[in-house]
Amino acid sequence: SKKLEINREQRALMKAIVDAYNRHQIPEDVAKKLLQDQYSPEENFLLLTEMATSQVQVLVEFTKNIPGFLSLDREDQIALLKGSAVEAMFLRSAQVFSRKMPTEHTDVLEERVRKSGIPDEFMTPMFNFYKSIGELHMVQEEQAILTAITILTPDRPYVKDPQAVERLQETMLDVLRKLCVLQHPQEQQYFARLLGRLTELRTLSHYHSEMLASWRMNDHKFTPLLCEIWDVQ
Ligand SMILES: O=C(c1ccccc1)c1ccc(-c2nc3ccccc3n2[C@H](C(=O)NC2CCCCC2)C2CCCCC2)cc1
């Protein structure tokens, strides 16, 4: 029916976002590194800050390719990036964790992340999120559009024109809704479950300062970009 069909304009929008998402992949694959060796909490923290710093740079490039983003107020663009960076990092970490790999590799990866130095009290919510993302078996288009929807969240702190952001987000939500019906015809509520993950993501990201502060080591060093984005130091 007309209602469900992805029209030409939406197809172009989806292509722009998926191309940007694929173009801006994380350079060095953290999963490979973690599968190779067991590192100390200090080495793991350094690995995290390196990965997270490059991921923020990748996120900025991806965001600039979201149709309409660059026509938002400049300060609102910054507020949206700052407000979504931690969620985008967890979303990307979940996608790295749920990537198709042999079971023993997933088990080793889980073990390495569990023993990395992250405080135990965050393990359960973090892995619950990773597994709930994995169960969705998202196609790449859904991952890319879900990341764009996370960035275009109108109620981030300091956004001056939330309506303008809402209009962009609604366009993305409409495309995602249609895509979910097409890609997962058997699962009626797939789209709703997908959006439910964004609520889980926001809750998980809410603890990020405590997670960082209580990483089992002293003298946490951050890059200037992470100090800015993670509100630390
Ligand atoms: O505590 C965390 C935190 C949360 C909010 C703000 C700052 C830090 C916090 C944050 C990520 C992960 C986390 N969950 C992962 C799941 C699978 C694979 C790696 C994962 N990671 C870390 C990672 O490098 N993630 C990359 C992934 C690509 C995009 C940039 C980020 C490593 C870092 C080496 C040690 C082990 C975990 C685990 C924990």
Q: For ligand 1, which residues put their CB under 6 angstroms from it? A: 26, 30-31, 34, 44, 47-48, 51-52, 55, 86, 89, 92-93, 96-97, 113, 116, 118, 208, 211-212, 230
The structure's pTM equals 0.94
Looking from the CA of residue 39, the nearest atom of ligand 1 is 35
Q: Which of 113, 126, 202, 221 to mutate to test the pocket of ligand 1 (most atoms within 8 A of CB)?
A: 113
Output 104-109 pairs: Cβ under 8 A, ≥24 positions apart.
105/35, 108/34, 108/35, 109/31, 109/34, 109/35
pLDDT in tens, the chain (233 residues): 567 889 999 999 999 999 999 987 776 688 899 999 999 988 999 999 999 999 999 999 999 999 999 999 999 999 999 999 999 999 999 999 998 889 999 999 999 999 988 888 889 999 999 999 999 999 999 999 999 999 999 999 999 999 999 999 999 999 999 999 999 999 989 999 999 999 999 999 988 878 877 876 777 888 899 888 888 87
ipTM of the complex: 0.97
**HEC letters along 92-130:** HHHHHHCCCCCHHHHHHHHHHHHCCCCCHHHHHHHHHHH
Contact 78, 56 (CB under 8 A): no
Contact 55, 89 (CB under 8 A): yes
Q: Which of 43, 48, 105, 116 to mutate to test the pocket of ligand 1 (most atoms within 8 A of CB)?
A: 48
Alpha-carbon distances of 179 from 14, 40, 85, 185, 199, rounded to whole Å: 10, 42, 25, 10, 20
Alpha helices in 152-189 (DSSP H): 162-183
- Give the Å distance between the CA of 2 and the centre of ligand 1: 42
